[in-house]
Each structure stands twice: as C-alpha cells, then as structure tokens.
Amino acid sequence: MIAALAIAAASLLAPSGVTATIQADPVCLNVPARPGTVYDLPVYAPGPVALRVTPAHDSLERTLHQVQPSWVRFIPDLAAPGSFLLDLTVPAGAASGAYWSDIKAVTQPSGTGDARLGTAATTALVFTVAPSAIPPPPCRQLDVAQSTGQFPPWPTPKFATSGWHQVYAPAEASERAAHTAPTAIPTAGTGAPAPAPAYSPVANAGPATGKVPKVPSDWPGYLALAVIALLVLAGLGRWLKS
C-alpha cells in the first residue's frame, strides 16, 4: 500500500508518461552466490527508465556489504516490455556475508529550463556471498514484509521489526536506553519515572550501632516448646507431691 501511494504521488507531481516505477518486492537471490559465477535475476520496472545500483538508503542496511555497480548489468527483455534481467557477477575475492543495496529506476527529465522534472523509485537487492555463516535471504518472507511491515530476522535479529521504521532515531534510542538502565534517572523534560535502584545487602546496610535485635521469624515454635516444658514441669511437681 505504501509503495502504491508513493507511485500515485509521483504520478501527480510528474509530467504524464515520465513516472518511474519498479517492483516493490526485493530482487533476491535465494542461494549463496559464489565468486566467479553469473546469476540472472528478473526485475520489473515499466519504463522507459534507466536502472542502476546505489548504496542502501537506510543506515541499518548500509552496515552490510554494498554491491558494487560494476558487478551488475541490466538487460532489457525485448519480448516483455518493462522486464529486465539483472546479470549479477560476483568477482573473485568478494567479501563473504550479506549484501543489501538499492536498485533505482530513474526517468529522464522532461520539460525545459527550470521545469525539467524526472522521477525515481527504488527496491532492494539482497543476497549472500559464500562461504558465509549467514544463510541466503528468505525471499518469500521479504516479499510479504513489503506489505505487512513484519520483517524477518535476516541477516541478524536486529533487522526483525513490526513496522516500517527499521531503527530509532539516535536521540530517541539514547533516551530509551537511559530509561531502561539499572541506574537510570529521569530525562529532563520527559516526566518519566526512574526505575528503583537495585537492592544490595552491603550497599543498603544501616550503621552497625543502635540496631534493634531482629525477632526470629519462627518465634511461634519456640513459644510452643516453652509452654510444653512448663506443662511437663507442673505435672512432674504434682506427681512428686502425691
């Protein structure tokens, strides 16, 4: 739905016939890529558009390996307008692990002077390079995530989310950390209560002098024994007098 709204907005802002669109689902390789091997991946981007690989737009995805543009070649499928084959060639010596970059579809600017306008749309390119402890991306789950916002924990658990925001803004993240720390204090202006400090028998001990002796918790048992002893002594006294 979000992708559809973005395309609709671009259609309203751009001149007729120049709106860039590309598939919402990521371009995904579900087997480990091996250096020196060429892989053909289908891409749907109704045009006319130009396709290129760019670094991932989100900071979390940019922590992964980025695909070099020289690894990728886009070949139009003349029999199916809007369809392309992405030739992915992983060179020898490529770093192993997870890769996540953007594929950007761009239209040529139209108009004249200051009114020259063009549009762009992006989707993800994801795969792993062998040998890697990280498994290939779960392509099916990533497809569904574009609609539901329920991202799978790939390639690490921190990528699993329940919404479109993959990471908190730095200021918000630091504030959340301050409120959940064991020794947290309220952040100025938030009005949030601070968690109670953890109890330590040493740190919370009172002064050694002036203490009131602590009554044993099992005092009823001692009292019952004392009563029984008194009854036994009283009976023994009556027996001796008789």
pLDDT at site 119 = 72
Residue 169: the pLDDT is 40
- Residues 205-212: what's their mean pLDDT? 48
Residue 9 has a pLDDT of 36
Note whether 7 and 21 are within 8 A (CB): yes
Distance CA 4, CA 26 (A): 15
Q: Where are the domains of the chain?
A: 2-133
Q: Tally the residues of the chain.
A: 242
Virtual torsion, Cα 190, 191, 195, 196, nearest 10 deg: 150
pLDDT in tens, 167-200: 334 444 444 444 344 443 333 334 444 343 333 3
Characterize the bridge pairing of strands 120-129 and 83-89: unpaired
Spatial neighbors of 124 by CB under 8 A, at least 6 apart, are: 26, 27, 28, 56, 61, 100, 101, 102, 103, 142
d(CA 128, CA 155): 9
pLDDT band at 149 (very low <50, low <70, confident <90, very high): confident
**52-61, 137-146, 203-212: least confidently modelled range:** 203-212
Predicted local confidence at residue 99, as pLDDT = 98
pLDDT 10s digits, 8-21: 333 333 444 557 88
The pLDDT score that the predictor gives to residue 222 is: 65
Instruction: Calculate mean pLDDT across residues 190-213.
Output: 42
Check residue 230 and give its pLDDT: 79
| CATH topology for the 2-133 domain | Immunoglobulin-like (2.60.40)
CB 35 within 8 A of CB 131: no
pLDDT of residue 8: 36
Residue 233, H or E segment: helix 219-241
Is residue 79 scored above 60 in pLDDT? yes
pLDDT in tens, 86-140: 999 999 999 999 999 999 999 876 555 444 445 789 999 999 999 999 999 999 9
The model scores a pTM over 0.85: no
Instruction: Express each pLDDT in 18-61 by its tens digit.
Output: 578 899 899 999 999 999 999 999 999 987 899 999 999 889 99
pLDDT at residue 242, rounded to an integer = 61
As a whole number of angstroms, the distance between CA 197 and CA 206 comes to: 16
How much is the pLDDT for 118? 55
Which pLDDT belongs to residue 109?
65
